[in-house]
Amino acid sequence: MTAGAAVLQWLGRTIAIVLLVMAGSTVLVRFAPGYLSDAREMDARYADAAHAELSQEAARSRSLPHMLSAEISGWARGDAGISREYGVPVSALILPRLAVTGGLLLRSILLAWTLALSASLLTTAGRNPSPFWQTPATLLLAIPTAAMATLCLLANSGGPVLVMALLLAARDFKFLHRALRTAWLDPHVLQARAQGLRARQVLRAHVLPAIAPQLAALASLSIMTALSAIVPVEVIFDVPGLGQLAWNAALNRDLPVLLAVTMIMALAVVIGGMTPDRPPEWKSV
Amino acid sequence: MKLRPSAAWLLAVTILAAAIVLARPGASYSHQDRAEPLAAASTLHPAGTDALGRDRLTRVAAALLLSLVGATAAAAVTTLAAAGVGTLAAFAPASIGWPAMLLCDVFLALPWMFLLLMVRSALPLTTSPANSAAITFLVLAALGWPACARAVYRGALSLKRSAWMLHAHAAGLRGRQIVRYVLPNLIPLLLPQFLICVPTFVIAEANLGALGLGIGEPLPSWGGMLLELDNSAMLLQTRWVYFPVALLIAVLLLLEAVAVEA
């Protein structure tokens, strides 16, 4: 297959996935058992007329084709629909928060990669590295993100970047350590070491090039994990980003906002590397 | 050093201890001792009480059992679904296999937390606590299968292309007979997937609960108890608030040790 055809195939698959994500999310929400209930119906301050109006509004948005066309036309207009809670275009809520979340993600991923790469390079070399090097990473992975963020907040040390970076670094470390260790024990690397090549040269000339393709997969996995961790981190540290917006939208049943944020996140994952296979240690949420 | 047997034993002891705590006469996770909110540890309440005067040890024991039972059931559903989709995609014609794997990609493109938020927020406002627990784990099961299905698909595909399968075809074995011999070969692949899913779902439930979107009160859950840490006044009064978090981390470490070495 030529490079052009491969790019076209990737593009087609990406577009298909994004469209399917949009349709699938809409269907999922439409057929969720509480879709037609509205939090405002429980509010005693609303008069009967208002309740009737809410019921009519729910009935109007009952049809799936109507929902899908509203979703698509919202994206086509560029406002991604109207927020149920705030009554403003969803894009007006999302755009100011994109930079906040993007900055947080970027800083966290960079710090995590630096930590993980340094730690895995330090612990890979040697004949039989101690398994106790894995202990901090294992411990960090056993702490739910929300608990880690809350404990950092209570200890008044560390912020959202540190929490996200620690979580990501623990996963990155396990992945990198395994990849580096496998490459380090390759027969040609063993021979290079036996011939007296220094560790730094072996790493630069043989080990790092061997794991380069896996680093691309790691990048996309970092994005996926960071996107899932961003909600509890932003909520607990009160960071005004997309995660906090999604959480608020979930609490207020503001489904247009939630759908739009989910779409953006799916787009980020698809563009970030097209969902490669996840190794076992990456499966935690 | 093999940690798995020790971890499995420790986990079994913890589960047994939780069951004994719950089986004590008069133990109730929802009973409120209004005279003793935020009480320190005593013989009556070995881990103190929460802000509503409920026995913390009983609630932690109930949360542990509920979370483990729910996560195990969800992991079983996920693994079965993944086995079905992965095997189907590998052995069925491309017209079925390709859409099945595309569906996996679609699910994998959606970050879990956002999908969980979306589904959880679209549930009825009047959901009972028991239903909210069932729905939470059902949603986790429904969203967890694609990653497992990918792994099963790869394993099933390599089986399909293996030499003994070619021999089986050449020897005239029919499809049904081949399936009978293929499926047991997938069990070594499915067991680790199942064991990995259990701690994953426990963590997901805790994170969801800490955001206020998990299992409803008065049912105890890890996430609900993490919310206690938000109350700084409570933290000053008793250090037992940290007990659920510590136990949760210990249980997750044990589950990870069991899963990783499987």
* Residue A107 pLDDT level (bands cut at 50, 70, 90): very high
Question: Does residue B27 contact residue B21 with C-beta atoms inside 8 Å?
Answer: yes
Question: Does residue B116 contact residue B208 with C-beta atoms inside 8 Å?
Answer: yes
Position A285 scores a pLDDT of 38
Angle of helix A255-271 versus helix A3-30 axis, rounded to 10: 160
pLDDT above 50 (res B108): yes
The ipTM is 0.80
The CA distance from A112 to B261, in Å, is: 26
Question: Does residue A283 contact residue B196 with C-beta atoms inside 8 Å?
Answer: yes
Task: Give CA angle at B120 (B145, B15), nearest 5°.
Answer: 65
Task: Give CA angle at B256 (B253, B257), nearest 5°.
Answer: 85
Cβ of B108 within 8 Å of Cβ of A275? The answer is yes
Cβ of B108 within 8 Å of Cβ of A280? The answer is no
Percent of chain A with pLDDT over 90: 13
The CA distance from A147 to B202, in Å, is: 13
Handedness of CA B159, B160, B166, B171 (dihedral sign): positive
pLDDT above 80 (res A277): no
Nearest to A222 by CA among A103, A143, A108: A108
Range from A125-134, A215-224, B111-120 carrying the lowest mean pLDDT: A125-134
Position A131 scores a pLDDT of 65
Rg of the Cα atoms in chain B: 22
Query: Which spans in chain A are helix H?
Result: 3-30, 48-60, 64-77, 90-124, 135-141, 145-155, 160-184, 187-194, 199-202, 208-236, 242-251, 255-271
Range from A43-47, A115-119, A274-278, B84-88 carrying the lowest mean pLDDT: A274-278
Q: Give me the torsion for CA of A281, B2, B8, B11, rounded to 10°.
A: -80
pTM of the full structure = 0.82
Position A275 scores a pLDDT of 47
The CA distance from B210 to B191, in Å, is: 29
Cβ of A34 within 8 Å of Cβ of B124? The answer is yes
Cβ of A32 within 8 Å of Cβ of B223? The answer is no
* Residue A33 pLDDT level (bands cut at 50, 70, 90): low
Three-state SS for chain B is: CCCHHHHHHHHHHHHHHHHHHHHCCCCCCCCCCCCCCCCCCCCCCCCCECCCCCEHHHHHHHHHHHHHHHHHHHHHHHHHHHHHHHHHHHHCCHHHHHHHHHHHHHHHCCCHHHHHHHHHHCCCCCCCHHHHHHHHHHHHHHHHHHHHHHHHHHHHHHHHCCHHHHHHHHCCCCHHHHHHHHHHHHHHHHHHHHHHHHHHHHHHHHHHHHCCCCCCCCCCCHHHHHHHHHCHHHHHHCHHHHHHHHHHHHHHHHHHHHHHCC
| Encoded tokens for B194 | 């199942």
The CA distance from A34 to A153, in Å, is: 34
Superfamily of domain B5-15+54-261: MetI-like (1.10.3720.10)
- Supply the DSSP symbol for A277: P
Position A51 scores a pLDDT of 66
pLDDT above 80 (res B17): yes
Domains and their CATH numbers in chain A = 22-76 (no CATH), 100-282 (1.10.3720.10)
- CA distance, residue B186 to nearest chain A CA (Å): 17
B8–chain A Cβ distance below 8 A for any pair: no
Q: What is the pLDDT of residues A238-251, one digit of tens each?
A: 899 999 999 888 88
pLDDT above 70 (res A279): no
Cβ of B114 within 8 Å of Cβ of A261? The answer is yes
Q: What is the pLDDT of residues A140-190, one digit of tens each?
A: 888 888 888 888 888 887 789 999 999 899 988 888 888 888 888 888 888
Mutation target vs A (from B1, B4, B106; most A CBs, 10 A cutoff): B106
Question: Does residue B97 contact residue B88 with C-beta atoms inside 8 Å?
Answer: yes
B246–chain A Cβ distance below 8 A for any pair: no
Of B114, B122, B203, the CB nearest to A144: B203
Domain boundaries, chain B: 5-15+54-261
Cβ of B253 within 8 Å of Cβ of A280? The answer is no
- Range with the largest mean pLDDT of A126-140, B62-76, B86-100, B209-223: B62-76
Q: What is the mean pLDDT of residues B70-99?
A: 89
